[in-house]
Each structure stands twice: as structure tokens, then as C-alpha cells.
């Protein structure tokens, strides 16, 4: 019997998914164990635990190694998706960290907006096409409090200071 999603979330581990991919790629438990720097008995036990968890056989054992069953093929396909999503997550985190994607909230008084700000936004769009620039045009007395409350990232305007 196939387990519930809750059971899969709680018991299926990334190492299980790495094992699926290593077996599919290499066709042998010994080679999969080498690739994962584990012992063959540990890999055999991990595969057996995964098959017990899922309630299906994932690989057919043959004299020349292992071949995925239809269940193993499906599980392997989803393992590839998980790792592709993880790679995408990492790429997005790196891009966010570097400022190449995300959102910049700019407040500006009317005077610099048409010339200076338009040129800067064009350059940003060219160099960082996934960066969203949001501009709010208003007076300094309304924009500065938004900056102080972290509702804007930068303001082009007049600041009268603390005095």
C-alpha cells in the first residue's frame, strides 16, 4: 500500500533520493555505494527501507545489476525534479543575495524623476532584467517617513534632518 503524503514528508529523506539517482545512473548497488561514499550493505539497507516505506519494488535485480521498475522510474523522475528545484532555489537565493533579482522601492520628488531616475532604471533593467523597480513620486515630507518605516529602500528628495 502506497503511504500518505504526510508519511512521505516525515520519512523520505534526501539521501533516499540521491540513492535512487545513483542506482539509476550506475545500474549497480556497489557503484552507487561508491558514488555516495557508503558501504554496499548500507546502500542495500537504505534501498530496502525505501521500498518498505513506499510499499513497492523500485528496482529489478538482474545478473548485470539493477533496472528500475515502473515504480522506480516514477520515483527517480520525481527525485530529478526535487534536485532541479533545489538547484533553482540555490540559484534564486544567490541572485537575491547579489541583488540581481528582487524589488527595489524608490521614492522620488518630481524634479529628478524624469531625467536622472529614468536613466538609472533603464540601466538597471538592462543589467538586471529580473530586478523589479517600483517608483513612488511624491513630496519629501511624505516619502521620508516611508523610508524611515522601511516601506521604501531609497528616496531622492529633501531631508530636513533632526534639527
Q: Does residue 105 share a domain with residue 73?
A: no
Instruction: Specify whether the CB–CB gap between 109 and 152 falls below 8 A.
Output: no
* Cβ-Cβ contacts under 8 Å for 80 (sequence gap 6 or more): 21
pTM of the complete model: 0.66
Q: Which is nearest to 145 in space by CA: 130, 135, 134, 160?
A: 160
Give the pLDDT confidence score for residue 113 in this predicted structure: 66
* Cβ-Cβ contacts under 8 Å for 1 (sequence gap 6 or more): 55
Give the pLDDT confidence score for residue 44 in this predicted structure: 95
Give the pLDDT confidence score for residue 130 in this predicted structure: 84
Q: Does residue 91 share a domain with residue 33?
A: yes
Task: Give the CB-side neighbour count of residue 65, counting CA atoms within 13 A.
Answer: 13
Tens digit of each residue's pLDDT (9 = 90 or more) over 24-64? 999 999 999 999 999 999 999 999 999 999 999 999 998 88
Q: Does residue 59 share a domain with residue 134?
A: no
Q: CATH number of the domain that 140 lies in? A: 3.40.190.10
From 57, 74, 95, the end of a domain falls on 95
Examine residue 107 and state whether it is found in any structural domain, yes or no. yes
Q: Does residue 136 share a domain with residue 58?
A: no
Per-residue pLDDT for 125 more than 90? no
Q: How far apart are CA 92 and CA 42, in angstroms?
A: 34
Q: Which domain holds residue 58?
A: 5-95
Instruction: Specify whether the CB–CB gap between 97 and 126 falls below 8 A.
Output: no
Q: How far apart are CA 135 and CA 116, in angstroms?
A: 13
3-state secondary structure of 128: coil
Amino acid at each position: 500500500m502506497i503511504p500518505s503524503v504526510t508519511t512521505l514528508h516525515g520519512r523520505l529523506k534526501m539521501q533516499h533520493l540521491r540513492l535512487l539517482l545513483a542506482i539509476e545512473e550506475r545500474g549497480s548497488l556497489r557503484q552507487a555505494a561508491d558514488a555516495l561514499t557508503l558501504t554496499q550493505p548500507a546502500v542495500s539497507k537504505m534501498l530496502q527501507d525505501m521500498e518498505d516505506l513506499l510499499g513497492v519494488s523500485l528496482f529489478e535485480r538482474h545478473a548485470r545489476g539493477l533496472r528500475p521498475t515502473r515504480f522506480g522510474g516514477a520515483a527517480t523522475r520525481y527525485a530529478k525534479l526535487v534536485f532541479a528545484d533545489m538547484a533553482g532555489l540555490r540559484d534564486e537565493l544567490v541572485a537575491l543575495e547579489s541583488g540581481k533579482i528582487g524589488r527595489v522601492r524608490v521614492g522620488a520628488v518630481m524634479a529628478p524623476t524624469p531625467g536622472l531616475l529614468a536613466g538609472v532604471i533603464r540601466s538597471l533593467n538592462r543589467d538586471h532584467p529580473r530586478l523589479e523597480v517600483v517608483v513612488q513620486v511624491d513630496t519629501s515630507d511624505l516619502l521620508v517617513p516611508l523610508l524611515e518605516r522601511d516601506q521604501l529602500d531609497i528616496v531622492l528628495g529633501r531631508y530636513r534632518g533632526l534639527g
